[in-house]
């Protein structure tokens, strides 16, 4: 994955054209746009060897958004594990934040942290969310706050401890219950205001 001089040499571009398991949602087209714009060629021009793969979802998944997302994330987990096993850095281009569930699950059982860069915390649970929007619970899933059976079905990796999470860029928390959840957590949150961080990102990292 890394040359002796520290240069990146091998990556695996993983395209996940789904929005919470829905391939027909308009946002699901976003990963394909990176491909058509020449992401592979751009890396090659920098001396980086890149493979590319489109993650597929199995047919006949259960009903509901969580079930559809789980089906896609099984594919994400396998693709990430495969990239790592061949010493390639997986770069996942997805249509929504819930793909992070499969990415973290694919890292295996070793210690890891998360740098989550988003205007939204995605730290809701079914109990706190006003809309029930599943991608808005993604960070809560990987830190063990909800959908524990779904998470366990993705290989049984322990949830990531809150103190190993840096949330940068957050500026939109909804509803107030999410703001309270984040405030009471051990997550290192760095709010954003008028395009600038309201804290020392380097120190948190």
Look at residues 171, 167, 166 and name the one whose alpha carbon lies nearest to residue 193.
Answer: 171
Q: What is the pLDDT along the chain (205 residues), one digit of tens a residue?
A: 334 344 557 999 999 999 999 999 999 999 999 999 999 889 988 889 999 999 987 776 667 999 999 999 999 999 999 999 999 999 999 999 999 999 999 998 888 999 999 999 999 999 999 999 999 999 999 999 999 999 999 999 999 999 999 999 999 999 999 999 999 999 999 999 988 999 999 999 8
pLDDT for res 2 = 38
Report residue 45 as tokens: 């021009």
pLDDT for 144 equals 98
Structure tokens at 142: 């990987």
Q: At the fourth CATH level, which superfamily is domain 1-108?
A: Ureohydrolase domain (3.40.800.10)
Name the residue ranges covered by the structural domains of the chain: 1-108, 111-205
Q: What is the pLDDT of residues 104-120, one digit of tens each?
A: 999 988 889 999 999 99
Residues 6+ apart with CB under 8 A from 19: 25, 26, 27, 28, 95, 96, 135
Q: What is the DSSP string of 23-77?
A: SSSGGGGHHHHHHHTTHHHHHHHTT-EEEEEEPP--SSPPSSHHHHHHHHHHHHH
Nearest-angstrom CA–CA distance, 42 and 179: 39
Residues 6+ apart with CB under 8 A from 152: none
Structure token digits, residue 4: 């002796």
pLDDT tens-digit map of 35-57: 999 998 899 888 899 999 999 87
Which pLDDT belongs to residue 6?
Answer: 47
CB 28 within 8 A of CB 19: yes
> Rounded CA gap, 36 and 52, in Å?
12
The Cα-based distances of 118 to 60, 130, 136, 137 in angstroms read 32, 19, 11, 13
């Amino acid at each position: 994955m890394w040359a002796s001089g520290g240069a990146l040499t091998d990556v695996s571009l993983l395209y996940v054209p789904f929005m919470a398991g829905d391939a027909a949602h308009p946002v699901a087209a976003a990963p394909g746009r990176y491909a058509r714009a020449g992401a592979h060629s751009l890396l090659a021009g920098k001396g980086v060897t890149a493979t590319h793969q489109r993650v597929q979802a199995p047919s006949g998944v259960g009903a509901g958004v969580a079930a559809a997302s789980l089906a896609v994330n099984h594919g994400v987990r396998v693709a990430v594990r495969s990239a790592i096993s061949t010493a390639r850095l997986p770069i996942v281009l997805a249509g929504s934040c819930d793909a992070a569930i499969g990415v973290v699950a694919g890292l295996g059982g070793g210690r890891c942290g998360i740098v989550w860069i988003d205007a939204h915390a995605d730290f809701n649970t079914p109990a706190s969310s006003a809309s029930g929007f599943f991608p808005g619970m993604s960070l809560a899933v990987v830190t063990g706050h909800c959908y524990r059976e779904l998470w366990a079905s993705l290989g049984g990796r322990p949830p990531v401890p809150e103190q190993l999470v840096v949330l940068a860029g957050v500026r939109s928390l909804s509803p107030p219950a999410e703001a309270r959840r984040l405030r009471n957590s051990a997550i290192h949150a760095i709010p954003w205001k008028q395009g600038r961080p309201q804290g020392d990102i380097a120190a948190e990292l």
